[in-house]
Amino acid sequence: MRASGAVTRSTLRQQIADALRDEVLAGRLQPGREFTVKQIAEQYGVSATPVREALFDLSAQGLLESDQHRGFRVYEFTVLDYRAIVEARALVINGVIRDVFAGPPPGPVQQAAHRDALVSVRRRAEEASRAARAGDLDILIGYDLRFWRELGALVGNSYITDFLHRLRVQAWVFAVPYLRGDADVRDWLWNGHPDIVAAISHRDRDALLRAVEDYNNHALSWADRLAAGDPAHPGHAARPEGPDGPDGPDEPNGPAARSRTKP
């Protein structure tokens, strides 16, 4: 694996974790892919300690599996896992909506703060929706994750925000190998972000519930299609034969990885 840029030593642990997470979300590190601390340390030219910490961080987030004898492996989520992720986030979001609308209306100061925050969230929503309609998966993932994270910050509970962010990252990790090989990808990319912002802006509880229900139903309908075997999982089609693989060093940006992730 080749590093795309120099990594500063001030935040090695976080930067390495972020870089590897991006590789997984981009589909360059496929489900089941194995690597060791030594391989990652050599890639970035750093010591093993921050690499090991970063890999354990990603394991704690459910993106990697640790094997005492083989190193680490990108976690292979199943359709059942994906459905459980969608159902879990639906329960949490519905609970948040219930609590927010059950409480007293926000005061003038809080309303002003929310209006200011929604300006940025609305921009994220528009960009995410535009990318979904265009079928631009790489742009969509970034804006979608930022949209939901900024939106969650309005609730003011960092534990809920972090939990939901983890679920969405896991959902994208599962979805990427399928979506990159699907000619009908635009049909399966939800683009209702602006509807959620509009409902929140008008404090329209029913409209917000409908938009969130559409978001969840869209995901579950796609899960039903996958469960029926349409399409098959392209990420399982080819595996490297070992640390060096059939195409030379087992690198996420190498020829073997690129051939497995073409749309």
Q: Which domain holds residue 108?
A: 79-227
Pair 69, 87 in one domain: no
Pair 150, 108 in one domain: yes
Using pLDDT thresholds of 50, 70 and 90, give the confidence band for residue 229: confident
> Whole-prediction pTM value?
0.79
DSSP state of 232: -
Residue appearing with tokens 């690198």: 251
**CA proximity to 250, closest of 15, 19, 14, 40:** 40
pLDDT of 146 > 80? The answer is: yes
Q: What is the pLDDT of residue 110?
A: 67
Q: What is the pLDDT of residue 108?
A: 66
Pair 41, 133 in one domain: no
Range name among 100-104, 149-153, 163-167, 180-184 with the lowest pLDDT average: 100-104
Residue of 7 and 39 predicted with greater confidence? 39
CATH number reported for the structural domain that contains residue 35 in this entry: 1.10.10.10
Pair 136, 222 in one domain: yes
162 belongs to a structural domain: yes
Q: How many CA atoms lie within 13 A of 91 on its CB side?
A: 7
Amino acid at 193: H
Q: What is the pLDDT of residue 107?
A: 66
Residue of 252 and 193 predicted with greater confidence? 193
Which residues have CB under 8 Å from 242's CB, separation 6+?
250
CATH number reported for the structural domain that contains residue 124 in this entry: 1.20.120
Pair 152, 209 in one domain: yes
Dig out the tokens for 148 from the structure. Answer: 């939901």
Q: What are phi and psi of 34, to 5 degrees?
A: -110, 145
Pair 133, 197 in one domain: yes
236 belongs to a structural domain: no
pLDDT of 242 > 60? The answer is: no
**CA proximity to 35, closest of 14, 63, 64, 57:** 64
